[in-house]
Structure 1
Amino acid sequence: MIIEDLSVRFGAFTAVDGVTLPIPPGSAVGLVGESGSGKSTLARAVAGLVPYTGRIEGARRVQMVFQDPYASLDPRMTVGASIGEGLRGLGRDARRREVARLLDLVALPADLAGRYPRELSGGQRQRVAIARALGARPELLIADEITSALDVSVQGAVLNLVRTLRAELGLSMLFISHNLAVVRYVCDVIAVMREGRLVETGPAEEVVAEPRHDYTRALLAAVPRLTGERG
């Protein structure tokens, strides 16, 4: 898909200013920038959650996984009901089997389907949110800061899950984070956003190894270990 000359304005304030960004099929594009840079607003525009000008072509089915998994799941619905909500056209048995398949896909046991979000850990809730998004068979999956609300001990496991799902399903993904180390680990391409505009875009390793923009260099400096080899 391609995002072309996309802008989002709230009154006189321009949150996203003329962004053009291709997301090739099967690739993961990482959108990185500080808080307030416009990256989450861009994501919401692509997901159809805020009005925008410009064009978005090539992805009719877009699903979004949000930062806070507890806020994105209805506490009154079981895990199975939440995941099954988007499985339209399936009978009860087929829906139950599909919920079990989706839970297995995100490395959760099928018996979690009968539990409520409050009974799960933060990492489990985020896996449920991912499973629910995948149930809609999206052409583009948007992940908006999906590890930043999780304990450090489970962030790596969720990132590894995302990498595994990409490999198994050939997902196209827009992955949003303020952390360049996280984006580098997950994505093929890095796009750096500042004050509503893209200031640098390129292959992940090139952007990390030879950043062209001062702002990218500042983001790199904030993660000292990123300049070394992956551990």
Structure 2
Amino acid sequence: MRSLTFEEVTVRFGSRRHGTVAVDRVDLAVPAGQVVGLVGESGSGKSTLARAAVGLVPLTSGRIHPHPRGGGPVQMVFQDPYSALDPRMTIGASIAEVARGRTDVAQFLEMVGLPAERAGVRPGALSGGQRQRVALARALAGRPEVIVADEITSALDVSIQGAVLNMVRDLQRRMGLTMLFISHNLAVVRYVSDIVAVMRQGKIVEYGPVSLLDEPQHEYTRELLDAVPRP
């Protein structure tokens, strides 16, 4: 197992004079074998931090460990299961591509609750929930020690979000994965996470065990909780 750490990470888009700071000197620890739920409103910098973790966004300053190189110990599952997979490739070929020639595609499909015989179909023949399962299987095929999951249920129907979350939680615990789980949904974060980090305007404003959502210290966290609809 491996931890994921961000040290004084800053990401700026544009010039120093006219650019936008999306991530502002973030220190964040994702302990080995645990799930850190990163929550915040749209535009808070969550997805930019996620992309920085896997090397898709260059850092303006700071460091990330392990260093993102694309592939390897850190793998990302994206929000949109429709654009995350090549529509021209069968799902088996898509998984095998990341597995680097290993032939255990069926194993990875079974891990995410899909029958091995579906390996020959293309993404267009699958539902949104099934595609997200394939995207997770593809990430697992890279044999990662850290998974970065960016809003992976927000594009899915409410009726299947729970099944995907249960699968993610089960896989994380069974495989001992380290996970940065990003969501704007506090209920989802509470369900899957050991630790919660709250992000606002590019900064981490609160960090601690998920129980902090019961007694938040920062005003912004309280505002997020107050905005959750209650029955």
**Same structural fold, with TM-score higher than 0.5 when normalized by the shorter chain:** yes
In structure 2, what is the equivalent of residue 135 of structure 1? 141
Matches within 5 A, 1:83-98: 83-90=95-102, 95=103, 98=104
Deviation, structure 1 residue 58? 3.7
Question: Please, which of 30, 55, 66 is the counterpart of residue 63 of structure 2?
Answer: 55
Matches within 5 A, 1:8-87: 8-11=11-14, 12-52=19-59, 53-58=61-66, 61-87=73-99
- Distance in 1 between residues matched to 2:149 and 2:178, nearest whole Å: 11
| Cα-to-partner distance string for 1:17-70 (whole Å, 9 max, x where unaligned) | 000001111000011000000000000001100110201124662110001111
Please show how residues 1-231 of structure 1 align to structure 2 within 5 Å: 1-11=4-14, 12-52=19-59, 53-58=61-66, 61-90=73-102, 95=103, 98-205=104-211, 207-225=212-230
Question: Could you report, residue by residue, the CA deviation over 1:141-189 in whole angstroms, capped at 9, with x for unpaired residues?
Answer: 0000000000000000000001100111001000000011100100100
Unaligned runs of 5+ in 1: 227-231
Q: What amino acid is aligned across from residue 189 of structure 2 in structure 1?
A: V
In the TM superposition, what whole-angstrom CA distance separates every residue of 1:100-135 from its partner, at most 9, and x where no partner exists?
000000011001101110100000000000000000
**3-state DSSP of counterpart to 1:69:** coil
In terms of fraction of residues, the more helix-rich structure is 1
> C-alpha distance in 1, partners of 2:95/2:171?
17
CA distance in 1, matches of 2:224, 2:118: 39
Letter aligned with residue 19 of structure 1: V
Aligned to 1:2, the other structure's residue is in SS state: strand
Task: Select between 149-158 and 207-216 the one with higher mean Cα deviation.
Answer: 207-216
Distance in 2 between residues matched to 1:58 and 1:144, nearest whole Å? 18
In structure 2, distance between residues paired with 1:178 and 1:107: 26
Q: 2: CA distance between counterparts of 1:137 and 1:46? A: 16
SS in 1 for 2:99: coil
Equivalent residues, number = 219
Equivalent residues of 2:66, 2:73 under 8 A apart: no
Question: Which sections of structure 2, spanning at least 5 residues, go unmatched?
Answer: none
1:229 alignment partner in structure 2: none
What letter corresponds to residue 163 of structure 1 in structure 2?
A: R
Question: Aligned partners of 2:12, 2:188: CA distance in 1, in Å?
Answer: 29
Q: Identity of paired residues, percent?
A: 65
TM-score norm. by structure 1 comes to 0.92
Describe the SS at the equivalent of 1:218.
Answer: helix
Cα separation, 2, equivalents of 1:4 and 1:99:
36
Give the aligned residue type for 1:34: E
- What is the CA–CA distance in structure 2 between the aligned matches of 1:57 and 1:78, rounded to whole Å? 33
Shift of 1:214: 1.0
Give the TM-score normalised by the residue count of structure 2.
0.92
Q: How far is 1:89 from its partner?
A: 4.3
Aligned mates of 2:65, 2:90 — CA distance in 1: 35
- After TM superposition, the runs of 4+ consecutive aligned structure 1 residues lying more than 3 A away are none
Matched residue SS, 1:146: coil
